[in-house]
Amino acid sequence: MTKLIVANWKMNPETRTEADRLFKESRIKAPGVEVIICPPFVFLENGRKESLGAQDVHWKKKGPFTGSISVSMLKSLNVKYVIVGHSEREEDDRLVNKKVKVCLSEGLAPIVFFKNRQELEARLEGVRRPGRLVLTYEPPESISANKGSRPTSPEEAFSMSILARRILSNKYSRGLADGIHILYGGSVDSRNASSYELDGLLVGRASLNPRVFKKIVTNVSQKFSHQEQKGAVKG
Ligand code: PGA
């Protein structure tokens, strides 16, 4: 499975010029890794050459919703992924669930955040087919900007991914569950990136520093190719 590395720029950078530079410097090709850039809405159009994600979407396809962005608008800019239910947005599970459903029914891949089992189950309630669903395990206390934060240990993140995979497998099938990327997010940097044994990473603050971000991507790619080689020798 290709590893996904998602750059969540949050409310950065401040100008279009800086966004153009950040896009250019974040253009990193590494074997076995897909890099997805999630800029603020206003910069999506500048990322024509990237694999793009949005940071949110409205749950209704159309309507009088001032300030909102719809799935069709995102699709028209070639956006393939949407971050849904980030803890910084403080949305309740029912709203997140509606957003997950509109993305899946319209062919966008939702990157759904969860901090525990209960949240994961509530957010996927009634989702009959997972489509291109992506999950991110991110407890809020691991987000770098939060007071007293610290990254979740690789062991804990791994065991949450196993639990999530079991939930998916019971809900759908083993085969479908195995195809769903489960990522870890929260204070990922170039020193800890390769210790997480999940299907990829979601990177906030460190994605704004192209030198560090490049290191994260190459570290993950190198570890991945090493594992693949070992697998090939064994198999
Ligand atoms: P962080 O942000 O990497 O700065 O902790 C994570 C996120 O974007 O949710």
What is the mean pLDDT of the segment spanning 211-220? 98
pLDDT digits (tens, 9 = 90+) for 60-101: 999 999 999 999 999 999 999 999 999 999 999 999 999 999
Please give the mean pLDDT across all residues of the chain. Answer: 96
132 lines ligand 1 (CB under 6 A): no
Supply the pLDDT for residue 233: 66
Rg over CA atoms, the chain: 17
Instruction: Determine the pLDDT at residue 215.
Output: 98
86 is catalytic: yes
Determine whether the shortest distance from the Cβ of 209 to ligand 1 is under 6 A: no
What's the gap in Å between 10 CA and the centre of ligand 1?
A: 9
Ligand 1, atom 8, residue with closest C-alpha: 204
Which pLDDT score, from 0 to 100, does residue 190 have? 97
Q: Which of 50, 58, 91, 138 is catalytic?
A: 138
Residue 41: helix, strand or coil by DSSP?
helix
Residue 235: pLDDT above 60?
no
What span, in angstroms and rounded, lies between the C-alpha atoms of 204 and 185?
Answer: 8
Confidence (pTM) = 0.96
- CA-wise closest residue to 143 among 196, 216, 209, 202: 202
pLDDT band at 228 (very low <50, low <70, confident <90, very high): confident
181 has catalytic annotation = no
Determine the straight-line distance between the first and last CA of the chain, rounded to whole angstroms.
16
Contacts of 79 (CB under 8 A, 6+ apart): 44, 52, 53, 54, 108
Q: Which amino acid is at 24?
A: K
- Nearest ligand 1 atom, CA 188: 3
What is each CA distance from 186 to 55, 71, 78, 115, in whole angstroms? 16, 27, 27, 11
